[in-house]
Amino acid sequence: MQYPWWRFEPHPEWVDPHWSKENYELPYAAGIPGEVRVIFIPPAWDPPKVKNLESGVAYRAYYFNPATGKQYEAVDVTPDSTGLWQPPITPTFADWILVLANKTSGSKEIKMERVCFLSKVRPERLAEYKERHKAVWPEMLEALRETGWHNYSLFLREDGLLVGYFETPDYKSALAGMAKREVNERWQRDMAPFFEKLEGRRPDEGFLRLEEVFYLA
Positions marked active-site: 133
Residue 101: HSE in the Cβ half-sphere, 13 Å Cα cutoff: 18
> What type of residue sits at position 196?
E
3-state SS of 93-147 is CCCEEEEEEECCCCCCCCCCEEEEEEEEECHHHHHHHHHHCCCCCHHHHHHHHHC
Question: Which residues, other chains included, contact 207 with Cβ-Cβ below 8 Å and sequence gap of 6+?
Answer: 117, 118, 119, 162, 164
